[in-house]
Chain A
Amino acid sequence: MKQSVTVSKSEEAKWLEGIKVVLSKLQFKTPTFNLKKIIVPVISIVAFIGIWYLGAEALRQREINFRVEKALTDQGQAAANALQACFASNESTCQTNTLPSPTQVWASVITLVNDYYVVKQDKLDFKNKTAAVNAKRIAAGKAPIVYTGRASFVDIVIRSLKTVFAGFLLAFFIAVPIGIVIGLSPTLRNAINWFIQIFKPVSPVVWYLLVFMIVKTLLIGTSSDNSFLISFISVGLCAMWATLVNTAVGVSTVDKDYINVAKVLKLGQLQKIFKIILPSSLPLIFTGLRITLSVAWMVLIAIELLAQSPGLGTFVWEEFQNGSSESNSKIIVAMFVIGIIGFLLDRFMLTIQNMVSFNKSEGI
């Protein structure tokens, strides 16, 4: 009994150790109170918001002036005055449809957050309401009724993350093996090179159309929603090229010294690949994967929009179609969310990349 306690304790200690190592590798440095490092970004953020505010205000004024003048020529002085007053009172019927100001965007953030709680409550209510029915349905071997109501902004972001993750995995499982194979064989490299060169620059929209044509035909007759499938495949195919090329280059340009080591030790072919070639090309492969992930996140919006997949792309497009001032603010919120998530994903990949990279020049 006593022994098991000590074992579990040391296990715990190991975990703590492990977490500490990971944290230290994630480059969370203890904040040094370097005034310049804090003040300079704060100033630039304030300046950015200020310029944004002034710009948005100028655009709003321009729209108001135009519309008031139009009312004046079309309907006369009284109508123009009424419109002017309406704009000044900021009533919901008299909103401009231009770049929203920072305050409007902040208001939208709050709306979206509140909306998240509303939807959460809706889902809970739905679950409670259908609990009895669903239990019966499951007992009878039928599929339970699922919530198909409005999605919150968080659901939308999660959907996008799922799509990009699935696309990234697809890219990984296609590009890395093919990259290794063509990196090892100059003949195959020559055979496939034209293919890579032609398909690499193809735009996400065209990839979407191509995948759509194929998947639609393959799934003909089935009625399930395949927007997720189509969008993640398109994202993967569009983003995988950097990994493919980097893997092939990494594998085909292993330092001659390492190859000589393999020869002198008389490593077998498989040993040579797994113990020398792959480890030495890992840094380049991970550089490729990092580019792939950032490209995937970038093209995701366009592809989701086309595929009507209920993620950020569709969200942005639908809000744009709405055309209200409120929608414009939501688009800006989405823009910031996309940017911040993209940044975090890149940071994450950079951390992994640093973990696997060894300094080549120092290593030999």
Chain B
Amino acid sequence: MAYLELKNIYKTYGEGKDATEVLSNINLSIEEGEFVAIVGFTGSGKTTLVNLINGLLEPTSGEVLFKGEPVKGTSHERGVIFQNYSLLPWLSVEQNVLMAVREAFPKREKAVWKRKAAHYIDMVGLTPAINKLPKELSGGMRQRVAVARALSMKPDMIIMDEPLGALDALTRGNLQDQILNIWGKDKRTALLITNDVDEGIYMADRIIPLRPGPNATLGPEFKIDIERPRDKTELNDNPIYKTTRNAIIEYLMGIGEGRKSEQQSTYILPDLAPKSFVRL
């Protein structure tokens, strides 16, 4: 039995004449401890897919099974890192994390909560900024708070919706490593949504393209058989990396071409410049 399983998922927004089917026939299964990445164009329905898995949305038809049970609403077992951080701007770094800790461990004492919060804030290296408000932090720091908040609830699975999309290349690389580090420690199951093929290949065990919507559906999966820990500079010359990368890009480009000729509109493509892995 798969850890997370999506069976014949369809998701439609709106009713009647205005209805648009964003996701069609999505099938996905993730095993325990796996790190899976889904890549897709902006607007293809990635956030919709993530929200179906974390329980913020319900599918129009089909089933989402988590540990064999149908997903009904959100759960502390599935930690979420949102695309736009979603920190509460009136709370400090510590208070943002504390709020999550309190909910996840309601029966503990205040001192325990504080200790746990401090632990996770330290894990993402934000102890010096513990009393700062989100607006006093850089984008990368905010995202680290969001990571700390999600992890502090000790979720069994961590779901990340383009967590690094808004960051500069250097910060992005750093955070990729931090997330991999944390994931490597206790091998939690992880789902990463990204619009960056390189990021997917660097981080995931498996990478699956999402064919753009409407009627977005998952494409063929690509296994990344590269030893961990992976080295970014060596990766460039790794034959598996090269072939996988080209295959995924070809696949996505093929869709992109098809869409362009069909709909005469432009789409934001992932960064495809060759040999640009360490993007400085």
Interface string of B49-82 (1 = CB under 8 A from A): 0000011100000000000000001111000101
Determine which of A266, A279, A362 lies in contact with B74 in the assembled complex, contact meaning CB atoms within 8 Å: A266
* Pair A358/B89 contact, Cβ less than 8 Å: yes
Determine which of B73, B75, B88, B100 lies in contact with A279 in the assembled complex, contact meaning CB atoms within 8 Å: B88
In the complex the two chains form, what is the Cα distance from A257 to B88 in whole Å?
9
Secondary structure dominating the interface of A: helix
User: Is B84 part of the contact surface with A, judged by Cβ < 8 Å?
Assistant: yes
Query: What residues of B have a CB within 8 angstroms of the CB of A267 in the complex?
Result: 103
User: Is B86 part of the contact surface with A, judged by Cβ < 8 Å?
Assistant: yes
* Pair B84/A364 contact, Cβ less than 8 Å: yes
User: Is A216 part of the contact surface with B, judged by Cβ < 8 Å?
Assistant: no
* Pair A265/B103 contact, Cβ less than 8 Å: yes
Interface residues on B, range: 20 to 34
User: Is A276 part of the contact surface with B, judged by Cβ < 8 Å?
Assistant: yes
In the complex the two chains form, what is the Cα distance from A332 to B221 in whole Å?
82
For chains A and B in complex, what number of residue pairs have CB atoms within 8 angstroms?
59
Given contacts A263-B56, A263-B74, A264-B74, contact A364 B89 (CB under 8 A): yes
* Pair A261/B90 contact, Cβ less than 8 Å: no
Secondary structure dominating the interface of B: loop
Name which of B75, B76, B86 has the most chain A CB atoms within 10 A of its CB.
Answer: B86
* Pair A363/B56 contact, Cβ less than 8 Å: no
Interface string of A54-98 (1 = CB under 8 A from B): 000000000000000000000000000000000000000000000
Q: What's the least CB distance linking B128 to chain A, in Å?
A: 20
Q: What's the least CB distance linking B135 to chain A, in Å?
A: 4
Interface string of B24-36 (1 = CB under 8 A from A): 0000000000000
User: Is A137 part of the contact surface with B, judged by Cβ < 8 Å?
Assistant: no
Determine which of A261, A264, A282 lies in contact with B88 in the assembled complex, contact meaning CB atoms within 8 Å: A261
* Interface residue ranges of A242-298 to B (CB < 8 Å): 257-258, 260-261, 263-267, 275-276, 279-280, 282
Determine which of A260, A276, A282, A360 lies in contact with B56 in the assembled complex, contact meaning CB atoms within 8 Å: A260
User: Is B85 part of the contact surface with A, judged by Cβ < 8 Å?
Assistant: yes
User: Is B151 part of the contact surface with A, judged by Cβ < 8 Å?
Assistant: no
Q: What's the least CB distance linking A347 to chain B, in Å?
A: 23
User: Is A190 part of the contact surface with B, judged by Cβ < 8 Å?
Assistant: no
Given contacts A264-B74, A358-B135, A362-B134, contact A280 B90 (CB under 8 A): yes
Query: What residues of B have a CB within 8 angstroms of the CB of A360 in the complex?
Result: 89
In the complex the two chains form, what is the Cα distance from A260 to B87 in whole Å?
11
Determine which of A264, A279, A282, A362 lies in contact with B135 in the assembled complex, contact meaning CB atoms within 8 Å: A362
In the complex the two chains form, what is the Cα distance from A275 to B95 in whole Å?
11
User: Is A203 part of the contact surface with B, judged by Cβ < 8 Å?
Assistant: no
User: Is A4 part of the contact surface with B, judged by Cβ < 8 Å?
Assistant: no
Q: What's the least CB distance linking B90 to chain A, in Å?
A: 5
User: Is B99 part of the contact surface with A, judged by Cβ < 8 Å?
Assistant: yes
In the complex the two chains form, what is the Cα distance from A359 to B134 in whole Å?
10
Top 3 A-B pairs, shortest CB-CB distance? A363-B89, A362-B135, A257-B86
What residues of chain B have their CB less than 8 Å away from a CB belonging to chain A?
Answer: 54-56, 73-76, 80, 82, 84-91, 99-100, 103, 133-135, 153
What residues of chain A have their CB less than 8 Å away from a CB belonging to chain B?
Answer: 257-258, 260-261, 263-267, 275-276, 279-280, 282, 358-360, 362-364
With A363-B89, A363-B133 known, 7 other A-B pairs at CB within 8 A are A260-B86, A263-B55, A358-B90, A359-B89, A360-B89, A362-B135, A364-B87
